[in-house]
């Protein structure tokens, strides 16, 4: 059990609602985690105060006081009770309702015994000293939608004295190309396809560069930039922020519920460490029917200022890896005034014409810049005879990939067998190429 799972089950643990196995896992985690142990102790004390000092809620009674607080803070109700409602199916509605009541009452205690003191400026100031950040993101349902690139990614960022990112590593365990690792430094990005097969070859390394990419990565999952953006949006009146603080001295985070003006269906919850004032987590929600909040994505900061191994940003690549340097090679064909479909068709035709002529240097140029010797090895024993047909290109259906797909048929002879083979050639723009160039990146 990790810290997130521990926090999710904390109320059920305190109220004795976990089964034996879950309680055992919870206890095991507490033995090794000081922060969660302190959080459980704090929450337990609050619950005990609730039980023994019920009169503090006034003559209207506990239920009325709790419900009055809930009615005044509908946004927070959705955030806090979403976690507790998960227990309904496991423990029954009565137990879930009891857990909800305890949590709401704790909320009342927190509100009535602490005075708002947190301001976003505190996090902006705390961020100035940050030099290293390590975190991860998760997008709910991305894999179901076919967007495997954005299911989960882990990131590391190193900042310079001026606060700008100087090194970045992005780790994508699941993408359309398998496991990808992207490292960036000094305007150069290296994309390592750790287990890609097919046209690029297993473990192919693609190197590219552009100022546009550098600018994009400077703010990518950068908690400092996110807080700066939030602060500016608040100053401009573009967002409404509801702040909830824990008791003084508590390990519980400050909770910021952010709703953008004019977009009530989108909501984000920022969790800020109440002691360091640094961002810990961002949860993005989609609000449906005005009341139902569904989690869309989460960003979790795992470490601050934990110096990384230099090899993290400069990996030791396998000796037999295929290297493609798009910073020194001519890749694909210039688009010029052609449309996307026109350039994609031209690249596809040019590729197969090069294979027919056994011009492996040109074929490699059109296939992401693969070396000529690699191309010759890939198609050894095959003779491309003629292009039978080239169909109408269509937009790449896989989310996040970009470009178009060109269907075509080519007559091929190999190992004593001759026939027409179908291809769905994936073509897109070479990243960062100026002027714009297009190349084949898959489907061969």
CATH topology of domain 329-442: Nuclear Transport Factor 2; Chain: A, (3.10.450)
Q: What are phi and psi of 271, to 5 degrees?
A: -110, 125
- Tell me the pLDDT of the chain (444 aa) as tens digits: 888 888 888 888 887 788 888 888 888 888 888 778 878 877 776 665 555 444 444 444 444 544 554 454 444 333 333 333 333 333 443 444 444 444 554 454 444 444 458 899 999 999 999 999 999 988 775 444 444 445 678 999 898 888 888 888 988 887 766 788 888 887 788 888 877 654 555 566 677 666 455 555 554 667 888 899 999 999 999 999 999 998 877 788 999 999 999 888 889 999 999 999 999 999 999 888 767 788 888 899 999 998 778 888 888 888 778 888 877 788 999 999 999 999 999 999 999 999 999 999 999 999 988 889 889 988 888 999 999 999 999 998 876 678 999 999 999 998 778 899 999 999 999 877 778 999 998 888
What secondary structure does DSSP assign to 152-210, as a single string? EEEEEEEE-TTS-EEEEEEEESS-TTSSEEEEEETTEEEEEESS--GGG-TT-EEEEE-
What secondary structure does DSSP assign to 47-81, as a single string? HHHHHH-GGGG-TT-HHHHHHHHHHH-HHHHHHHH
Residue 42 to residue 188: CA distance in whole angstroms: 48
Domain with CATH 3.10.450 in the chain: 329-442
pTM for this predicted structure: 0.63
- Cβ contact 161:328 at 8 Å: no
Domain with CATH 2.50.20.10 in the chain: 115-328
Q: Interior CA angle at 90 toward 62 and 92, to 5°? A: 45
List the one residue out of 40, 24, 8, 17 whose CA is nearest residue 93: 17
Query: Which tokens in the block code for residue 68?
Result: 């009055």
3-state secondary structure of 431: coil
List the one residue out of 331, 322, 281, 285 whose CA is nearest residue 304: 281
Is 2.50.20.10 the CATH classification of the domain at 115-328? yes
Q: How many other C-beta atoms are found inside a 10 Å radius of the C-beta of residue 249?
A: 8
Beta bridge mates, 168: 157, 184
Gyration radius of the chain over CA positions: 28
Query: At which residue do the structure tokens 């310079």 appear?
Result: 160
Residue 129 to residue 142: CA distance in whole angstroms: 34
| DSSP 8-state code for residue 281 | E
Which residues are CB-contacts of 260 (< 8 A; sequence separation ≥ 6)? 233, 238, 239, 266
List the one residue out of 203, 195, 187, 197 whose CA is nearest residue 323: 203
């Amino acid at each position: 059990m990790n810290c997130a799972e521990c926090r999710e089950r904390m109320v059920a643990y305190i109220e004795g609602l976990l089964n034996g196995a879950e309680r055992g896992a919870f206890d095991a985690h507490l033995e090794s985690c000081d922060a969660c142990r302190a959080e459980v102790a704090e929450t337990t004390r609050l619950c005990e105060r609730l039980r023994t000092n019920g009169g503090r809620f006034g003559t209207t009674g506990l239920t009325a006081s709790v419900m009055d607080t809930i009615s005044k803070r509908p946004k927070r109700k959705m955030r806090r009770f979403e976690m507790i409602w998960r227990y309904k199916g496991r423990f029954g509605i009565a137990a879930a309702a009891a857990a909800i009541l305890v949590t709401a009452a704790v909320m009342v205690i927190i509100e009535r015994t602490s005075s708002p003191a947190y301001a976003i400026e505190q996090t902006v100031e705390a961020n100035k000293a940050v030099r290293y950040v390590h975190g991860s993101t998760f997008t709910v349902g991305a894999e179901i939608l076919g967007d495997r690139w954005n299911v989960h990614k882990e990131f590391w960022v190193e900042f310079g004295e001026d606060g700008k990112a100087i090194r970045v590593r992005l780790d994508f365990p699941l993408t359309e190309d398998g496991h990808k690792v992207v490292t960036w430094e000094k305007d150069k990005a290296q994309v390592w396809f750790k287990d890609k097969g097919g046209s690029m070859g297993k473990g192919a390394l693609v190197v590219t560069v552009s100022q546009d990419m550098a600018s994009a990565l400077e703010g990518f999952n950068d908690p400092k930039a996110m807080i700066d953006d939030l602060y500016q949006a608040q100053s401009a009146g573009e967002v409404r922020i509801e702040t909830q603080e824990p008791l003084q001295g508590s390990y519980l985070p400050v909770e910021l519920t952010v709703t953008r003006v004019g977009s009530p269906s989108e909501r984000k919850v920022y969790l800020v460490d109440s002691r360091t004032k640094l961002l810990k987590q961002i949860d993005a929600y989609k609000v449906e029917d005005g009341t139902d909040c569904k989690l869309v994505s989460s960003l979790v900061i795992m470490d601050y200022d934990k110096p990384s191994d230099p090899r993290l940003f400069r990996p030791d690549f396998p000796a037999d890896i295929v290297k493609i340097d798009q910073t020194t090679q001519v890749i694909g064909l210039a688009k010029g005034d052609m449309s996307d479909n026109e350039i994609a068709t031209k690249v596809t035709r040019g590729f197969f014409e090069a294979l027919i002529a056994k011009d492996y240097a040109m074929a490699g140029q059109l296939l992401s810049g693969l070396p000529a010797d690699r191309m010759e090895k890939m198609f050894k024993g095959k003779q491309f005879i003629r292009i039978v047909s080239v169909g109408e290109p269509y937009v790449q259906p896989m989310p996040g990939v970009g470009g178009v797909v060109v269907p075509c048929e080519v007559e091929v002879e190999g190992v004593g067998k001759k026939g027409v083979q179908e291809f769905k050639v994936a073509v897109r723009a070479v990243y960062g190429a100026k002027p714009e160039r297009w190349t084949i990146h898959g489907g061969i």
